[in-house]
Each structure stands twice: as C-alpha cells, then as structure tokens.
Amino acid sequence: MLNTLNIIKGKSLLIGAAAMLTTLALPVAAEEFPDRPINMVVGFGTGGSADRMTRAMSSFVSEELGVPVQVTNRPGAGTQVSANYILNMPDDGYTLYASTFAPYLTNTILSGGADYSIDDFSYLNFQWFDLDLIAANKDSGFEDLPTLLETIRDNPGQVRGSVVQGSAGHLMVRLLLDEAGIPQDNLNLVTYNSGGEARSAVAGQQVDFVSISAQGSEGIREFLTPLAIVNDERIDQWDAPPINEALSEMDLEVPVLQGSMRGFAVTSEFERQHPERYEVLADAIQNALARKEVQDQLESQDIGGVWVGPERANALMRENYETFEKYAHLLN
C-alpha cells in the first residue's frame, strides 16, 4: 500500500512539473505599443517652422504607428515651458517632443535658467536643418547690412528688429552689435515665441528687420530685402551675400553660427526604461520619411525631411551646446 501511494505521489509530481515546464515554454505575448493616441507637443506657437513640420508629419507617423497622433502647442520662455511639460509627463512614450531643439533648448539652459540639461532628452531624429537670414522690410530703406548697423549706432532706439527668443538669429544680432562696438541698448529688439510671429512683424512693418531661419521665410519674400545669409557661401534660395562678405567693408568678421535643427525627442528616462518602445517610435519616423508621398508633401511645403537617426541627432545636439556655450553671455 505504501509503495502504491509513493508511486501515485511520484506521478503527481511529474505531472505537475511537466505542466509547469509547459507553461514556461509558452510564448509571452509581445507588448502592444502604442495602443492609444500619442500626443506631439510643439515647443512653439502655431504657424512657425516647428509647428508646420509637426503637423505635416503627424498623420504619416499616425499611419505608421496605427494610432491617432494629436498635436498641441506649448510655447513660452524659449521652449522652456514645453521642455518642463515633457519632463513632467509619464515616461511611457505617449508624449513626443517636437521642436527646434538647436539652439532653443540649448539657450534655455545656458541663459534661461532651466534646471534640466540636454542629456535629459533623447533625440529621435533631426529632419530639418536651416540657415539664418538677416532681411529688412522692403520699405525700410535698408539695402545692405553695414547701413543697418551704422543706423543702429547713430540713432539709438530708432531701429526695431524681430527675432525668436533664444534662437541662432537672436544670438547673431547680439554678436553683430558686440563685434561692431555698438551698445546693445541702441537696438529696439523685439523677441517672439515663434517664427510665424517674428516674420509677421517684419512683413507688417512693425519692425525694420528680422534675423530668422531662411527656410520658412519664403512666404514673406515679397516683403523683404535680404541683407545677409549666415553661411560661408551663397545659397540659391536667397540673393544675399554670406554674413562675413556682407561685413567686409566694415572690416568685421563674426563666427558663422550653426542654424536651426528641428525634429522629435523623448525623455532619456523613457529610452532607458522602454528601449523597445523607443525603437518603435524611431522606426515610425524613419519609415514615414522613407515614403515618397511624405517627401513630396514636405517638399511642397518647404519643410525638411532627412533621416539622421538617434545616434547622430544626439551627437549634433552635444556639438551645438558646446558651440553656443562660448557666447551664452550675450543672451543673458
């Protein structure tokens, strides 16, 4: 009887062990991500370049992910408002940051008093690179950059300019005045939270000139006299001399600052906690940009559409920070 009970117990243990092994061998269902709408948060107001890029991409990224993608704008403090919002959201991949990261995010840290760092974000891709343009309203009377600078020197407070707060264009104006020995207070410089606002100001003659991203300014070309392009050589899109060629008659030279870099990012903590989800988001953006109809639509709207990927995007952000760190004191 004892042997029979031992045999029954032995069989029961074997059956239980077999059942456990069978359970462990069953494939684990892959995580379904995303399974609800995603929010793209733009660091600027409506109408600017970052906003146009995000809205142009949102429907295509939605198709790649299989869920709705909505766009909201949170402008303010040179993108500090939006950056803090992103960092305070759950690190789950359902909130993407869309912005002109360089130089705005950089400058919120260097001169805006932000308590985060560029390493708190992971950059999925930069798809739109741009040069800056310095242009006057066509009725302002300014036909070249030296005349503009000399008027600012000789007529304190009379000349008005528009820039986007913390932008490369903002820093370039400060650098021009500094190198020319012109007091910063001589210029009535108006700062805006979006490129659309700054462009509207010069087109509507609220200011005399603008220093802003060249690409995206085509829509107000008829209202402008281009004075200089911030580059080492001329470009086809604008009939304007390179910045240091424009300054040659004044015997001045300024550093050619890296222009804007626009794209998408998430928090670094999200990448650390959810590397698989991070890859899903990066793949969705890459796959969208690989589609011909997407490229055609972006081109028709003068919006950049290149894929550099996370590794290169993060390296470019680091390079931008190191460059602007040299001149941060001019924006303080």
The domains located in the chain, with CATH, are 38-130+260-331 (3.40.190.150), 132-250 (3.40.190.10)
pLDDT-derived band at 21 (thresholds 50, 70, 90) equals very low
Dist. CA 237–CA 291, nearest whole Å = 25
pLDDT-derived band at 328 (thresholds 50, 70, 90) equals confident
Residue of 206, 73, 50, 220 lying closest to 129 (CA atoms):
50
Q: Which residue has the higher pLDDT, 279 or 232?
A: 279
Average pLDDT over residues 182-204: 94
pLDDT-derived band at 258 (thresholds 50, 70, 90) equals confident
The reported pTM is 0.72
Average pLDDT over residues 299-308: 93
pLDDT-derived band at 166 (thresholds 50, 70, 90) equals confident
- Provide, rounded to the nearest whole percent, the portion of the chain with pLDDT above 90: 75
The whole-chain average pLDDT of the chain stands at 90
Task: Answer whether residue 17 shows pLDDT above 50.
Answer: no
Dist. CA 39–CA 98, nearest whole Å = 10
User: Are the CB atoms for 221 and 88 separated by under 8 Å?
Assistant: no
User: DSSP per residue over 178-213, as a string?
Assistant: HHHT--GGGSEEEEESSHHHHHHHHHTTSSSEEEEE
Average pLDDT over residues 72-96: 96
